C-alpha cells in the first residue's frame, strides 16, 4: 500500500483536529454515548475528513488501537491481578495501616505520594498506578474524604517520574537524540520531579480534594474474607511484593549501563535473557506468580481460590483497557493525518529560543496526538539540529530535555490514554477528569518548564 501524503494545509488540519475533539466531547457529555463507541466513531470520521485513503483507514485505526493495547493491556491486567491479591489477602489494608501509623492520618496523602515517587523510579505510569490503587482505595475508605485527596498525589508522583526521570523511555530517547548525559539527567530530573510533585500533586491534590467529593468506586472494592482480617500479611511482605517488579526492572537499568560502558556483550544469550526478565510485563508476571503462591497456598488457599481471585481482577479493568486502546486509536489517526507535524512545523518557524520553542513544539504535539512519549521524542528530533548548532553542554542539555518533557504532558485531554485510564479508575466523568487530571498535568508541565528554565539560566 503506498505511503499516504497529506495535501491539506496546516490551517485545515488544525481545524479538523479541533472539530474532532469538540464532537467527541459533545457525544460523550451531551448525548451520553459510551466513550469506547464515541472514540471509534470520531476516529473514523477524522480519518475521512483528513483525507486518509479509504483503503488505509481501518489499518490506521487498528494500528493505533493495537499499539496502545500492546503497551497497556499487559501492564494493567497483570498490575490489577497483583493489586487484587494484595487487597483480598488484607495486604493493602496492612500497608495502609502501617503508613497511617507512621505518618499520621493528616499526612496519609503525603505518605502515599512519597511511596509512589520511590516506586515510580523504574516502573511505568500505568503499572505503578494500578498496583498502588488498592492501597489508595483502602486508605480513602478508612479515613474518609474525597478520593482525590489520596489519588492525585499518587497519580502525580508516577507521572512526574515517568516523564522527567530516566530510565523511562521518553527522557532516555530525548537524551540520546540531544546528547544529554543520562546520569546528569537523572539528577536534574529528580531535582525537578520532587518540587513539581509537591505543587501539582500534594498542594493541588489537597485543594481539589476539598472542593470535589469523589467516593471510592464501588466496582473496585471487594470484601476481605474474615479469616484474612485476623492474619493479614505483614507490611514488610507487602512492600517486598511491590518492590519485586521494581527490582527486576532496575536490573535492566544496570544492564543497559553495563552495555553502554562496554562491560558486557549485548548479543550474549544471558544478557538478552536477563533483559527479558527485567521487561516491565515479564517483571509483573513474575510478581503475580510469586504473590499468588505467597498469598495463596502458603496462606492456606487452594489453587481454585487463587484462580478466582485473579479472574475477579480482570472484570473491572476490561472497560478501562478497551477505552484506553480507543484513545490510542484516536491519537494514531491524528498522527497519521499529519496534524501533529503541521502544528510543530508552524511553531518551529517562529524563531523563539530553543528552550521555549522546544516546550511549545512538545505541547503542540501532545495536544494534537495525545502520547507524552511520542511528543517528547518527536520534539527532541525536531530541535536536534538547533541544539547541536548552539553547542549546548552538560546541565543545559538536561534542562532542554526537561523543558521538552514538560511540554509533553501539557493539556491532557480525550486523545490521551492516561486521561481515560485515570478517569475510569477513579470513577470520574469527563468533566471531572478535565477539572482534576487535565489541570494537574498542565501544572506539572508549567512548573517543570519554569524549573527547567531556571536550571538552564544557572547552568
Render pLDDT for 352-376 as a digit per residue (tens, 0 to 9). Answer: 777 888 898 888 878 877 777 777 7
Render pLDDT for 281-334 as a digit per residue (tens, 0 to 9). Answer: 888 899 899 999 998 898 888 889 899 888 888 876 787 678 767 877 877 887
Which is higher by pLDDT, 400 or 243? 400
Q: How many CB atoms are located within 10 Å of the residue 67 CB?
A: 16
For Cα atoms 302, 306, 310, give the angle at the middle one, nearest 5 degrees: 170
Of 3-7, 370-374, 428-432, the poorest mean pLDDT is in 3-7
Render pLDDT for 89-137 as a digit per residue (tens, 0 to 9). Answer: 877 677 767 877 888 878 888 888 888 887 776 566 877 787 788 888 8
Task: Select from 405, 335, 327, 365 the least CA-distant residue to 72.
Answer: 327
Distance, CA of 127 to CA of 129 (rounded, Å): 6
Of 132-136, 154-158, 195-199, 381-385, the poorest mean pLDDT is in 381-385
Q: Please give the grid coordinates belonging to residue 187.
A: 539528577
SS (H, E, C) 10-23: HHHHHHHHHHHHHH
What confidence score (pLDDT) does residue 3 get? 58
Q: How many CB atoms are located within 10 Å of the residue 99 CB?
A: 21
**What's the whole-model pTM score?**
0.70
Residue 228: pLDDT band with limits 50, 70, 90: very low
What confidence score (pLDDT) does residue 348 get? 56
Question: In whole angstroms, how far apart are CA 220 and each of 125, 172, 202, 425?
Answer: 19, 34, 24, 8
Whether residue 53 is predicted with pLDDT greater than 50 in this model: the reply is: yes
Question: In whole angstroms, how far apart are CA 154 and each of 72, 90, 393, 422?
Answer: 19, 20, 34, 11
Q: Please give the grid coordinates belonging to residue 366.
A: 501532545
Question: In percent, how much of the chain has pLDDT > 90?
Answer: 20
Residue 226: pLDDT band with limits 50, 70, 90: very low
Question: In percent, how much of the chain has pLDDT > 70?
Answer: 89
Render pLDDT for 375-399 as a digit per residue (tens, 0 to 9). Answer: 777 777 667 767 777 778 878 888 9
Task: Select from 50, 29, 133, 30 the least CA-distant residue to 368.
Answer: 50
263 burial class (0-12, 13-18, 19+ CB within 10 angstroms)? exposed
What confidence score (pLDDT) does residue 402 get? 93
Amino acid at each position: 500500500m503506498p505511503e499516504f501524503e497529506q495535501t491539506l494545509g496546516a490551517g485545515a488540519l488544525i481545524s479538523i483536529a479541533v472539530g474532532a475533539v469538540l464532537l467527541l466531547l459533545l457525544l460523550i457529555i451531551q448525548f451520553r454515548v459510551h466513550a469506547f463507541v464515541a472514540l471509534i466513531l470520531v476516529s473514523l470520521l477524522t480519518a475521512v475528513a483528513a483525507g486518509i485513503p479509504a483503503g488505509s483507514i481501518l489499518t490506521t485505526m487498528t494500528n493505533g488501537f493495537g499499539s496502545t493495547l500492546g503497551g497497556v493491556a499487559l501492564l494493567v491486567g497483570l498490575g490489577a491481578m497483583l493489586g487484587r491479591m494484595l487487597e483480598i489477602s488484607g495486604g493493602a489494608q496492612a500497608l495502609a495501616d502501617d503508613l497511617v501509623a507512621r505518618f499520621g492520618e493528616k499526612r496519609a496523602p503525603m505518605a502515599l505520594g512519597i511511596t509512589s515517587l520511590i516506586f515510580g523510579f523504574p516502573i511505568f505510569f500505568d503499572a505503578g498506578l494500578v498496583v498502588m490503587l488498592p492501597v489508595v482505595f483502602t486508605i480513602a475508605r478508612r479515613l474518609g474524604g474525597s478520593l482525590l485527596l489520596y489519588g492525585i498525589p499518587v497519580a502525580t508522583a508516577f507521572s512526574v517520574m515517568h516523564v522527567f526521570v530516566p530510565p523511562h523511555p521518553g527522557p532516555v530517547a530525548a537524551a540520546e537524540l540531544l546528547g544529554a548525559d543520562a546520569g546528569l539527567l537523572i539528577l536534574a530530573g529528580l531535582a525537578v520531579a520532587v518540587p513539581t510533585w509537591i505543587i501539582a500533586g500534594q498542594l493541588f491534590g489537597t485543594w481539589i480534594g476539598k472542593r470535589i467529593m469523589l467516593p471510592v468506586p464501588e466496582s473496585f472494592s471487594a470484601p476481605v474474607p474474615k479469616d484474612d482480617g485476623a492474619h493479614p500479611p505483614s507490611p514488610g511482605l507487602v512492600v517486598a511484593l511491590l518492590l519485586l517488579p521494581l527490582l527486576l526492572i532496575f536490573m535492566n537499568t544496570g544492564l543497559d549501563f553495563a552495555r553502554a560502558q562496554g562491560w558486557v556483550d549485548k548479543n550474549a544469550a544471558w544478557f538478552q535473557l536477563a533483559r527479558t526478565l527485567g521487561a516491565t510485563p515479564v517483571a509483573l508476571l513474575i510478581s503475580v506468580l510469586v504473590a499468588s503462591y505467597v498469598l495463596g497456598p502458603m496462606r492456606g488457599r487452594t489453587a481454585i481460590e487463587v484462580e478466582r481471585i485473579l479472574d475477579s481482577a480482570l472484570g473491572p479493568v476490561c472497560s478501562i483497557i478497551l477505552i484506553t486502546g480507543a484513545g490510542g486509536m484516536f491519537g494514531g489517526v491524528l498522527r497519521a493525518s499529519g496534524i501533529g507535524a503541521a502544528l510543530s512545523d508552524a511553531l518551529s518557524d517562529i524563531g523563539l529560543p530553543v528552550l521555549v520553542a522546544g516546550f511549545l513544539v512538545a505541547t503542540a504535539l501532545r495536544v494534537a496526538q495525545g502520547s507524552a512519549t511520542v511528543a517528547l521524542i518527536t520534539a527532541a528530533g525536531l530541535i536536534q539540529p538547533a541544539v547541536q548548532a548552539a553547542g549546548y553542554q552538560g546541565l543545559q542539555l538536561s534542562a532542554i530535555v526537561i523543558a521538552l518533557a514538560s511540554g509533553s504532558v501539557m493539556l491532557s485531554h480525550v486523545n490521551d490514554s492516561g486521561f481515560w485510564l485515570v478517569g475510569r479508575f477513579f470513577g470520574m466523568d469527563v468533566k471531572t477528569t478535565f477539572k482534576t487530571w487535565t489541570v494537574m498535568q498542565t501544572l506539572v508541565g508549567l512548573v517543570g518548564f519554569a524549573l527547567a528554565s531556571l536550571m538552564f539560566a544557572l547552568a
